[in-house]
Amino acid sequence: MADDNPRDLYIRALKNTHALEQQALQIMERQVERLDQYPEMEQALRRHIQETHGQRDRLEEALLGFNEKPSALKEGVLGFVGNMASLTHAGFGDEILKDTYANHAFENFEVAAYKSLLTIAEIAGERSTAGFEQSLREEQAMARFIHDNVEAITRKYASLAIAGEKAKI
Interaction site with Fe ion (CB under 5 A):
110, 139
What is the DSSP secondary-structure string of 99-139?
HHHHHHHHHHHHHHHHHHHHHHHHHTT----HHHHHHHHHH
CB of 153 vs Fe ion, minimal distance in Å: 18
For residues 3 and 147, which CB has a smaller minimum distance to Fe ion in the complex? 147
Using CA atoms, how far apart are residues 76 and 70, in angstroms rounded to an integer? 16
- Asked if residues 152 and 51 have their Cβ atoms less than 8 Å apart, the reply is no
Minimum gap (Å) between residue 20 Cβ and Fe ion: 9
Helix or strand (DSSP H, E) at 1: none
In the complex, the smallest distance separating the C-beta of residue 2 from Fe ion, rounded to whole angstroms, is 33
CB-CB contact of 102 with 12 (8 Å): no
| Cβ distance to Fe ion smaller for residue 25 or 124 | 25
Q: Which is nearer to Fe ion, 110 or 126 (CB)?
A: 110
Instruction: Name which of 79 and 125 has its Cβ closer to Fe ion.
Output: 79
SS3 state of residue 87: coil
Q: Residue 52 CB, nearest distance to Fe ion (Å)? A: 6
